[in-house]
Structure 1
């Protein structure tokens, strides 16, 4: 089993400027949601943004330590706009 902190650290290692929030959606530790905010997402499609995060989590995804991952990625500007309207 992988911890939420390990998931957060793995993403931050691959995307050093990332602000990361990870939640366990079911209480089982293998169905997670991650919100990742990074300037590295600037100019990249949503698919490319998600691929960056999936690359950081390749091992736990392949070993099924993470069975499901709901992923939300934002540039800092998009995150700011999202949080201001909430």
Structure 2
């Protein structure tokens, strides 16, 4: 069962309330997404730590309900 872009965005924003989230469906199949997440809470964290925060926000759905997610994370300008 695929996961909607809205569900991905909701889970990320629940875990990182200040996040600005942009989701794109890469293949049109509801299984392959790209997410751009901008949050002040990423400041001072490595890219790996930032991505770990996103994976934690997805509550174990990565690799199951959500097959693939290309991540781009950054802090606000």
TM over 0.5: yes
| Uncovered stretches (5+) of structure 2, i.e. residues with no partner | none
Distance in 2 between residues matched to 1:58 and 1:5, nearest whole Å: 15
- TM-score of the superposed pair, with normalisation by structure 1: 0.84
- TM-score of the superposed pair, with normalisation by structure 2: 0.93
Match of 1:26 in 2: 27
Following TM superposition, by how much is the alpha carbon of 1:2 offset from its aligned partner in structure 2, in angstroms? Answer: 1.4
Runs of 4+ in 1 over 6 A off after TM superposition: none
Following TM superposition, by how much is the alpha carbon of 1:18 offset from its aligned partner in structure 2, in angstroms? Answer: 0.1
- Report how many aligned residue pairs link the two structures: 76
Tell me which structure has the larger Cα radius of gyration. 1
Following TM superposition, by how much is the alpha carbon of 1:58 offset from its aligned partner in structure 2, in angstroms? Answer: 2.7
Q: How well do the aligned residues superpose, as a CA RMSD in angstroms?
A: 0.9
Flag the structure with higher helix content.
1
